[in-house]
């Protein structure tokens, strides 16, 4: 079967579409890491909860889209805040490994809750994105992928600008660098913690809605988080720009591998990249090098 | 009430069992283990064998994560290596059971050594992620190296036969698994009386300082990976003889988290913690299942909700213990013992 | 004082023991028949697993209400395997070590293949289950198992023969899951396609239950094959695949094997599923006649049951029949005797569950017919007569 140029173009565009969603979720991860230095393994499951809450509002309660989306984002922010306050804050003063393992436990709890309420059956979200396929020249892009890309890019652009110029973004970076110093100049450190987790949960939920509309929702959606994990390692755990670039790259790579080598090789390719980056440049493309002191 | 345990020689001070009380309790434990099969229920024999296999594996992970401080998210993959090794050698070459188990441990140790190599460059959570990547890659190999691992179908394991006796049922397999478990747990306890064990603990507590006083980080980290994987490999091999079917799905990522939870819940950094954790985590699903069956008169669909409830309880256990009892069940046990040791004085 | 109360105490104890054994003996008149099962009640195949379990459970309740098997009650012991082979193996080991289990229902092709050597070694249990794998339809290799209908290769053959009768040299794409279940009939399907001079232009392999099929739809979009045959899924990603394919402008006709020929699945897929064709051995006619289908209707007032429910009921019915015959012949309930009676099933009347009397050929019951889904009426309508499938048309 001949590989035509058009196949490569179509697959690349689809890959960039998925990649933008990976980048968006990666940004959520980075927000948490920037503020609280927590590696949140449950980011995929937070995405999943957002998608299911949206399903609950739009399909279960049959609310119109313009009500479901904000409702979902509010609920997600609340969930993020509760998680931070009850499970994360008590352990922030301890060994970072402990918090990491709490997020592992959290993945299990979130998956269990979703399966309990909605069962493990994969479902489709109600259609709310325009349905006509998008054509660039001869190349076909599924409409949901194209619109997801646009929405994700817009949100990321807003987040990047906000973090660069807004006082809150600077407060976040200050807390990440040195909690004691930030506290002593009057920054409300616990407030920053709560805010970062709530914002990250909201962004993850938005990504969940988009991922769900492209690929359906199921209790196994958290697997997406595994690829996102690779994205943030490659991009740098505390770099939003890194998450963006790495996200687009990994999304593109997975699509190309899936198309031309076979779907079973996708995760292998992603994790091989992860291993290479970990060994060659562990702090990622744009991450800050951690200097360890005795 | 115990006042003091004064010893007159270094050997006595470093003994595994320092007091007569400890020796008596250990003797009782051994007696209980030997007499346990007499109660007759096949169901409990099956559980006992499963618990002991998990004890071996958890002890291995405890050595790596609890004593050396290297978080590993890929422990189940090493068990899978052990299981496949046993399936391959016993199925293909009909080699003796004990040799297969040693091979299982050795091959797993070798793979563990390889997986530990990145610890030269990365540490802490980055290393944990690397172990996760390694287990995904190992999973891919199990699925696709069909001539050796049987691919998607997996491998069937012949029944373990020692000196002509077929260990086909759990109550017979018990007599293979139990001595191995006791020996390996004692060996682990003994490990931390030696130089190697102390080096592990030093690396966990302050690795830069350890390096300064002359402990080669790479050598000891790799040794820790290898020993921990050896335990996992043996456990995986015994698992293969119990279930007699090994497939790529037999040891999923969730299993690695199961063992990590067992280490946390039981008490990282203590041998008894490893045992408590394994027993607790293995028996929780059984207990839930019994509860679900008991609830059927009121909730006929209870069994459908069993899997998600189990997942939630599992996660809550990890979170709960980390927040409220970070030193695990072992610490609760220690507190109880101290209470009785110091009675009638308060702690 | 102490001595007296101790004596009284031990007398009381002896009395209690006597009472309990006496009452125990009263209940122990007719030992139950234990039928074990590992069903996927959670996970990606839960949609079928729960229904399969309930089909079996309802049938056994029906049988118990009508006197049981030779006066003995049936006890159905089921556990959730999550569609994982090692869970199913653990459940099998556990249940068979607790009870004498003459019949065990497996949850998957993978499990039933994997447990086969162990099953044969024991010789005390026969197995059937959710699998219709052609590999299992082999009495030499799988002497103690049966499948409750035509095997997957036969089902694909039926579909391909239908295609060949509609369009010469049509182009076909196979979409199947990356599981033992999914891979089972593909080789036979390709061979049959070649024999019928049909053109298999692509084979797509996906994870079962995963809904991200946009890449796969892209792969075949421009080819626009005449027919797309799904196999190895019980629900997703079929509806998503069909919806996206239509959105992408594909005009292919969709077909599927047993588990996807299901009214509930089709209703979920909506308009995109109009014209979907599938194969089944079960009779979905709401007005079908027969003692068994009437019992099914009575147990499910107001509910639409899926395909898997019928499969669970059918297996239960076959198990009960085999047990009845073995007990009636005064033979021991072991694998050899039970399979002998199973293979002796000829022109057996299924009480309406299957539209024709069934006979076992090899390890399967190769009867079935083609159904077509009508989105307007939301129902599967028969598109062919009842066929007894043979190796060649």
pLDDT 10s per residue in chain A (294 long)?
456 788 888 888 889 999 999 999 999 999 999 888 888 999 999 999 999 999 999 888 888 888 889 999 999 999 999 999 999 888 888 777 888 889 989 999 999 999 889 877 778 888 887 777 777 777 778 888 888 899 999 999 998 888 878 887 888 888 878 888 888 988 888 888 999 999 999 999 999 999 988 878 888 888 888 889 899 999 988 888 899 999 999 999 988 888 888 777 888 888 889 888 887 887 888 877 766 555
Which residue's structure tokens are 């914002």? A199
pLDDT tens across C379-391, in order?
Answer: 888 888 888 887 6
Distance (Å, rounded) from C-alpha A76 to C-alpha B218?
44
Looking at per-residue pLDDT, the higher value among C39 and C27 belongs to: C39
β pairing state of A134-136 and A139-141: antiparallel
Of A10, A120, A133, the CB nearest to C44: A120
Neighbours of chain C (3+ CB pairs under 8 A): A, B
pLDDT tens across C51-98, in order?
Answer: 899 999 999 999 999 888 888 899 999 888 888 887 888 888 888 888
**B308 at A interface, C-beta within 8 A:** yes
Distance (Å, rounded) from C-alpha C88 to C-alpha C43?
13
Is A225 within 8 Å of A50 (Cβ atoms)?
A: no
Distance (Å, rounded) from C-alpha C83 to C-alpha A120?
12
Distance (Å, rounded) from C-alpha C230 to C-alpha C235?
11
Distance (Å, rounded) from C-alpha A160 to C-alpha A239?
10
HEC secondary structure over C117-162: HHHHHHCCCEEEECCCCCCCCCCCCCCCECCCCCCHHHHHHHHHHH
Distance (Å, rounded) from C-alpha C363 to C-alpha C137?
5
Greatest Cα pair distance, chain B, in angstroms, is 66
**A217 at B interface, C-beta within 8 A:** no
Residues C274, C291, single domain; the answer is no
pTM: 0.85
Neighbours of chain A (3+ CB pairs under 8 A): B, C
- In whole numbers, what is the pLDDT of chain C averaged over residues? 83
Distance (Å, rounded) from C-alpha B65 to C-alpha B73?
10
Residues C65, C127, single domain; the answer is yes
The number of folded domains in chain C is 2
* B20 assigned to some structural domain: no
Write the ipTM: 0.85
Indicate the domain borders of chain A: 14-219
* B26 assigned to some structural domain: no
DSSP character at residue C235: B
Is B271 within 8 Å of B58 (Cβ atoms)?
A: no
* C318 assigned to some structural domain: yes
CATH classification at residue B331: 1.10.3470
Grouping H, G, I as helix, E, B as strand and the rest as coil, residue C281 is coil
* B123 assigned to some structural domain: yes
* B5 assigned to some structural domain: no
Q: For chain B, which residues score pLDDT lower than 50? A: none
Q: Which two tokens stand for residue A27?
A: 């940004």
Greatest Cα pair distance, chain C, in angstroms, is 101
C207–A122 C-beta distance less than 8 A: no
Of C42, C97, C117, the CB nearest to B43: C97
Distance (Å, rounded) from C-alpha B176 to C-alpha A19?
51
pLDDT band of C15, cuts 50, 70, 90: very low
* C24 assigned to some structural domain: no
C41–B306 C-beta distance less than 8 A: yes
Cis peptide before B344 (omega within 30 of 0): yes
**B327 at A interface, C-beta within 8 A:** no
pLDDT of residue C28: 45
* C344 assigned to some structural domain: yes
* C236 assigned to some structural domain: yes
B264–A113 C-beta distance less than 8 A: no
Q: Which two tokens stand for residue C205?
A: 């392999």
Q: For B40-132, where are the E strands, in sequence order?
A: none
Nearest-CA distance from C289 to chain A in Å? 33
* B336 assigned to some structural domain: yes
Distance (Å, rounded) from C-alpha C168 to C-alpha C193?
11
- Ordered DSSP codes for C316-330: HHHHHHHHHHHHHTT
The number of folded domains in chain B is 1
pLDDT of residue C209: 63
Residues C233, C340, single domain; the answer is no
pLDDT of residue A216: 81
Of A104, A108, A268, the CB nearest to B137: A268
Name the helix (H) or strand (E) containing A134.
strand A134-136
Nearest CA in chain A to C221: A140
* B28 assigned to some structural domain: no
Closest CA to B46 of B38, B37, B55: B37
Q: What are the chain B neighbours of C178 within 8 Å (beta carbons)?
A: 152
* B22 assigned to some structural domain: no
Q: Which domain holds residue B310?
A: 40-342
Residues C118, C254, single domain; the answer is no
CATH classification at residue C189: 3.40.50.2300
Q: Which domain holds residue C189?
A: 152-280+369-388
Distance (Å, rounded) from C-alpha B220 to C-alpha B23?
32
CA end-to-end span of chain C, whole Å? 92
pLDDT band of C10, cuts 50, 70, 90: very low
* B212 assigned to some structural domain: yes
């Amino acid at each position: 079967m001949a590989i035509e140029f058009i196949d490569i173009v179509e697959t690349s565009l689809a890959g960039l579409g998925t990649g933008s969603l990976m980048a968006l979720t990666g940004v959520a991860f980075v927000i948490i890491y920037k503020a609280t230095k927590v590696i949140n393994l449950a980011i995929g499951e937070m995405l999943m909860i957002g998608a299911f809450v949206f399903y609950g509002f739009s399909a279960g309660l049959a609310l119109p889209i313009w009500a479901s989306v904000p409702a979902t984002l509010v609920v997600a922010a609340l969930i993020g805040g509760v998680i931070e306050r009850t499970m994360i804050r008590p352990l922030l003063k301890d060994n970072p490994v402990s918090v990491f393992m709490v997020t592992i436990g959290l993945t299990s709890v979130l998956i269990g809750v979703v399966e309990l309420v909605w069962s493990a059956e994969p479902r489709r979200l109600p259609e709310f994105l325009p349905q006509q396929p998008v054509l660039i020249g001869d190349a076909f892009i599924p409409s949901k992928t194209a619109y997801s890309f646009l929405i994700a890019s817009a949100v990321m652009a807003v987040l990047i600008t906000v973090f660069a110029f807004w006082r809150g973004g600077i407060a976040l970076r200050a807390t990440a660098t040195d909690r004691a110093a930030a506290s002593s100049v009057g920054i409300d450190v616990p407030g920053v913690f709560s805010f970062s987790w709530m914002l990250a949960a909201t962004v993850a939920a938005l990504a969940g809605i988009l991922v769900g509309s492209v690929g359906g929702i199921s209790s196994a959606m958290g697997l997406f988080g595994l690829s996102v994990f690779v994205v943030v390692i490659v991009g740098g755990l505390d770099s939003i720009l890194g998450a963006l670039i790495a996200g687009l790259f990994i999304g593109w790579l997975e699509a190309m591998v899936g198309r031309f080598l076979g779907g079973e090789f996708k995760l292998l390719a992603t994790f091989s990249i992860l291993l290479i980056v970990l060994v060659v440049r562990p702090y990622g493309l744009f991450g800050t090098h951690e200097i360890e002191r005795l | 009430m115990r006042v003091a345990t004064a010893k007159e020689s270094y050997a006595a001070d470093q003994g595994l069992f320092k007091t007569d009380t400890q020796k008596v309790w250990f003797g009782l434990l051994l007696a209980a283990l030997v007499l346990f099969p007499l109660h007759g229920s096949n169901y409990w024999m099956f559980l006992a064998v499963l618990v002991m296999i998990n004890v071996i594996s958890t002890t291995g992970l405890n050595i790596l994560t609890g004593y050396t401080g290297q978080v590993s998210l890929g422990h189940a993959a090493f068990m899978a290596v052990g299981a496949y090794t046993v399936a391959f050698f016993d199925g293909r070459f009909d080699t003796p059971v004990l040799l297969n188990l040693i091979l299982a441990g050795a091959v797993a140790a070798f793979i563990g050594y390889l997986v530990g190599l990145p610890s030269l460059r990365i540490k802490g959570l980055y290393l944990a992620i690397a172990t996760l990547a390694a287990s995904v890659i190992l999973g891919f190999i199990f699925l696709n190296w069909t001539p050796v691992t049987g691919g998607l179908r997996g491998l069937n394991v012949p029944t373990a036969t020692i000196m002509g006796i077929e260990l086909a049922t759990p109550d017979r397999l018990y007599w293979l698994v139990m001595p191995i478990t006791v020996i390996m747990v004692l060996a682990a306890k003994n490990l931390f009386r030696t130089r190697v064990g102390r080096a592990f603990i030093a690396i966990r507590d302050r690795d830069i300082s350890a390096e300064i006083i002359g402990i080669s980080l790479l050598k000891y980290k790799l040794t820790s990976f290898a020993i921990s994987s050896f335990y996992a490999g043996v456990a995986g091999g015994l698992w293969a003889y119990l279930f007699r079917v090994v497939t790529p799905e037999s040891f999923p990522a969730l299993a690695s988290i199961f063992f990590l939870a067992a280490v946390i819940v039981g008490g990282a950094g203590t041998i008894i913690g490893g045992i408590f954790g394994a027993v607790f985590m293995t028996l929780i699903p059984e207990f839930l299942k019994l509860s679900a069956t008991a609830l059927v008169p009121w909730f006929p669909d209870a069994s459908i909700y069993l899997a998600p409830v189990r997942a939630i309880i599992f996660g809550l256990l990890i979170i709960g213990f980390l927040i409220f009892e970070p030193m695990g069940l072992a610490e609760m046990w220690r507190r109880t013992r101290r209470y009785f040791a110091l009675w009638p004085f308060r702690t | 004082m102490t001595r007296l109360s101790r004596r009284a105490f031990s007398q009381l104890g002896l009395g209690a023991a006597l009472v309990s054994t006496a009452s125990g003996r009263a209940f122990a008149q007719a030992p139950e028949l234990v039928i074990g099962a590992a069903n996927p009640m959670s996970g990606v195949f839960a949609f079928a697993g729960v229904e399969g379990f309930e089909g079996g459970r309802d049938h056994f309740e029906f049988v118990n209400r009508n006197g049981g098997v030779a006066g003995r009650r049936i006890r159905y012991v089921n556990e959730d395997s999550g569609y994982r082979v090692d869970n199913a193996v653990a459940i099998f080991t556990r249940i068979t070590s607790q009870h004498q289990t003459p019949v065990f229902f497996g949850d998957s092709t993978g499990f039933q293949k994997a447990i086969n050597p162990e099953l044969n070694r024991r010789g005390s249990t026969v197995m059937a289950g959710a699998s219709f794998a052609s590999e299992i339809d082999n009495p030499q290799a799988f002497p103690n198992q049966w499948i409750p209908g035509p095997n997957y290769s036969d089902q694909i053959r039926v579909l391909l023969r239908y295609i060949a009768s509609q369009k010469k040299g049509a182009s076909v794409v196979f979409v199947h899951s990356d599981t033992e279940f999914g891979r089972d009939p593909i080789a036979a399907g390709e061979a049959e396609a070649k024999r019928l001079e049909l053109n298999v232009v692509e084979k797509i392999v996906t994870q079962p239950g995963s809904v991200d099929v946009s890449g796969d739809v892209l792969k075949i979009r421009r080819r626009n094959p005449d027919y797309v045959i799904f196999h190895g899924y019980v629900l997703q990603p079929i509806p998503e695949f069909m919806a996206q394919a239509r959105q992408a402008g594909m005009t292919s006709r969709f077909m599927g094997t047993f588990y996807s020929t299901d009214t509930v699945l089709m209703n979920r897929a909506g308009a995109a599923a109009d014209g979907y064709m599938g194969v089944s051995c079960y009779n979905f006619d709401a007005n079908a006649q027969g003692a068994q289908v009437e019992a099914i209707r009575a147990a499910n007032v107001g509910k639409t049951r899926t395909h898997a429910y019928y499969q669970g009921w059918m297996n239960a019915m076959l198990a009960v029949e085999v047990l009845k015959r073995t007990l009636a012949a005064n033979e021991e309930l072991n694998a050899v005797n039970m399979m002998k009676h199973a293979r002796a099933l000829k022109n057996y009347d299924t009480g309406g569950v299957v539209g024709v009397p069934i006979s076992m050929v090899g390890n399967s019951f190769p009867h079935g017919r083609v159904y077509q889904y009508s989105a307007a009426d939301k129902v599967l309508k028969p598109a062919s007569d009842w066929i007894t499938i043979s190796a060649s048309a």
